[in-house]
C-alpha cells in the first residue's frame, strides 16, 4: 500500500551529493572515472591476474606478435619483447609501479606542501617575504627539470627519482595552500573564530583547511598526472627505474631498440601511459566543473 504524502518535500542534496550529481552529467568525466577505477583494480589485483612473471625470460618466445596479429597466439595476448618476456604481465606490473608510486608521491607531497603552505600563509614580515620569493622562483621551473637536478645530486635509481619527484611537487601544494590561507584568514568566519580566542593552529586546522578539500582534489589530480609523466620520463632517460624493472618508461626505452621489428613493444606501454593521463585529466576537469557549478548554485 503506497503512502500518501500531504506535503511535497524538496530534495536538498548534501555538498558531496551535489558534486556527484553535477559530475555524472559529464559523460567524458564518468568515462575517465571508469578508466581510473580500472587502473586502481590493476594496482590491487595485478599479482592475481597477471599470467606470467614480468621478469621471466623465454629464449624460444622472442618478439612474438600480439594475439590480434596474423602470427600471434593466445598464450601471450600482448606478445613478448626482445627477451621473451610477456608484455601483458609487464604492462600490468608497469601500471602498478608507475600509477601506485605516483599516488604515494602525491599524498606525501600534499601532506608536506599543505603543512608548509599553511605556515607560509599565516606568517608575516620578513619570513613570509623570503618564503614567497623562494616559492615563486621554484614555481617557474618545470617539475621534470627540478627532478633531473635533484637526481644529478642524489644519483640515479627508482628511490632517488621518487624523492626527486616528491620534492618537485611540494612547491605546487605550498603555493595553493598559501594563497588559500591568505584569502580565507580575512573572511568573517575566521575573524569570528579568532575573536573567540582560537590560536593560529586552531584557525588553520579547524576553520581554514576543512574548506580546502575542493582545491586539494583538483590540485591532487593535476599533480598525479605530472607525477606519472615524470616517473615515465625519468625511466625512459634511464635516470629512474632501471632495467629489467617493469616500469612503463623503462619499457619504452627498451622497446625503442626493436621498434621497427616489434612496434607493439612501445605501443602498449605508451598506450597505458596515455590512458592513465587521459583518465586523470578527465576526472580532474570533471571535478573542477562540478565544484564550480556547485559553488554557483
What are the DSSP calls for 203-220, one per residue?
IIIIIIGGGGHHHHHHHH
45: phi then psi, degrees, rounded to nearest 5: -115, 20
pTM exceeds cut of 0.75: yes
Give the model's pLDDT for residue 109.
92
- C-alpha cell read off for 55: 621478469
In a domain, 69, yes or no: yes
Q: Highest-confidence range of 12-16, 123-127, 255-259, 289-293, by mean pLDDT?
A: 255-259
Cell of 253: 626505452
Residue 24: CB partners within 8 Å, gap ≥ 6? 30
How confident is the model over 132-177, as pLDDT tens digits?
Answer: 677 767 777 778 888 888 888 888 888 888 888 888 888 888 888 8
Contact indicator for 176, 219 with CB cutoff of 8 Å: yes
Q: Which residue in 73, 28, 77 sits closest to 268, CA to CA?
A: 77
Across all residues in the chain, what is the average pLDDT? 84
Residue 93: band (very low, low, confident or very high) from pLDDT cuts 50, 70, 90: very high
What does each C-alpha distance from 253 to 152, 174, 225 come to in angstroms? 20, 34, 20
Is residue 79 domain-resident?
A: yes
Is residue 234, in this structure, part of any structural domain at all?
yes
**Which residues contact residue 118 at a Cβ distance below 8 angstroms, ignoring those fewer than 6 apart?**
177, 178, 181, 204, 208, 209
C-alpha cell of residue 135: 616559492
How wide is the angle at C-alpha 167 spanned by C-alphas 269 and 174, nearest 5°? 115
164 falls within a domain:
yes
Looking at residue 146, its pLDDT comes to 82
| Residue 293 pLDDT exceeds 90 | no
Query: Sign of dihedral through CA atoms 110, 113, 116, 117?
Result: negative
Q: Cα separations (Å) of 286 from 23, 95, 164, 275?
A: 6, 23, 29, 16
Is 20 within a domain? no
- 8 A C-beta contact, residue 242 and residue 51: no
Answer yes or no: are the C-beta atoms of 182 and 121 closer than 8 Å: yes
Q: Specify whether the CB–CB gap between 98 and 233 falls below 8 A.
A: no
| Angstrom distances, CA of residue 150 to CA of 160, 168, 243 | 8, 9, 21
Residue 270: inside a domain, yes or no? yes
> SS3 for 141?
coil
Determine the 3-state secondary structure of 143 from DSSP. helix
C-alpha to C-alpha distance for 52 and 37, rounded to whole angstroms: 23
| Residue 21 covered by a domain | no
3-state secondary structure of 86: strand
Task: Give the pLDDT score at 141.
Answer: 76
Give the 3-state secondary structure of residue 96: helix
Q: How many angstroms separate the CA atoms of 196 and 202, rounded?
A: 11
Q: What is the tally of structural domains in the chain?
A: 1
CATH number at residue 108: 1.10.3720.10
Identify the domain containing residue 95 by its residue range.
Answer: 32-296
Range of weakest confidence among 22-26, 34-38, 48-52, 132-136 = 132-136
* pLDDT in the model for residue 1: 47
| pLDDT tens column, 179-191 | 888 888 888 888 8
Q: Does residue 108 fall inside a structural domain? A: yes
- Cα 15 from chain centroid (whole Å): 24
Residue-wise pLDDT tens digits, 245-284: 888 999 998 888 888 888 888 999 999 999 999 999 999 8
Amino acid at each position: 500500500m503506497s503512502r500518501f504524502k500531504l506535503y511535497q518535500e524538496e530534495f536538498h542534496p548534501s555538498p558531496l551529493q551535489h558534486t556527484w550529481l553535477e559530475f555524472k552529467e559529464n559523460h567524458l568525466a564518468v568515462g575517465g572515472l571508469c578508466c581510473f577505477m580500472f587502473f586502481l583494480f590493476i594496482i590491487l589485483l595485478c599479482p592475481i591476474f597477471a599470467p606470467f612473471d614480468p621478469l621471466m625470460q623465454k629464449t624460444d618466445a622472442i618478439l612474438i606478435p600480439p594475439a590480434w596479429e596474423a602470427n600471434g597466439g593466445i598464450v601471450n595476448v600482448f606478445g613478448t619483447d626482445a627477451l621473451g618476456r610477456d608484455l601483458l604481465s609487464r604492462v600490468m606490473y608497469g601500471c602498478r609501479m608507475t600509477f601506485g608510486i605516483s599516488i604515494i608521491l602525491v599524498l606525501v607531497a600534499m601532506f608536506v606542501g599543505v603543512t608548509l603552505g599553511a605556515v607560509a600563509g599565516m606568517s608575516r614580515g620578513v619570513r613570509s617575504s623570503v618564503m614567497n620569493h623562494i616559492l615563486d622562483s621554484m614555481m617557474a621551473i618545470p617539475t621534470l627539470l627540478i627532478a633531473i637536478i635533484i637526481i644529478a645530486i642524489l644519483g640515479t635509481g627508482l628511490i632517488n627519482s621518487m624523492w626527486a619527484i616528491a620534492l618537485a611537487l611540494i612547491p605546487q601544494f605550498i603555493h595553493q595552500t598559501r594563497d588559500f590561507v591568505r584569502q580565507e584568514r580575512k573572511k568573517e568566519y575566521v575573524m569570528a573564530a579568532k575573536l573567540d580566542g582560537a590560536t593560529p593552529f586552531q584557525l588553520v586546522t579547524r576553520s581554514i583547511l576543512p574548506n580546502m578539500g575542493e582545491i586539494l582534489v583538483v590540485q591532487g589530480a593535476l599533480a598525479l598526472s605530472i607525477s606519472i609523466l615524470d616517473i615515465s620520463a625519468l625511466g625512459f632517460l634511464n635516470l629512474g627505474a632501471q632495467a629489467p624493472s617493469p616500469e612503463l618508461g623503462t619499457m619504452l626505452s627498451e622497446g625503442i631498440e626493436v621498434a621497427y621489428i616489434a612496434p607493439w613493444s612501445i605501443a602498449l606501454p605508451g598506450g597505458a601511459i596515455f590512458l592513465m593521463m587521459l583518465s586523470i585529466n578527465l576526472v580532474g576537469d570533471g571535478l573542477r566543473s562540478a565544484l564550480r557549478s556547485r559553488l554557483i548554485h
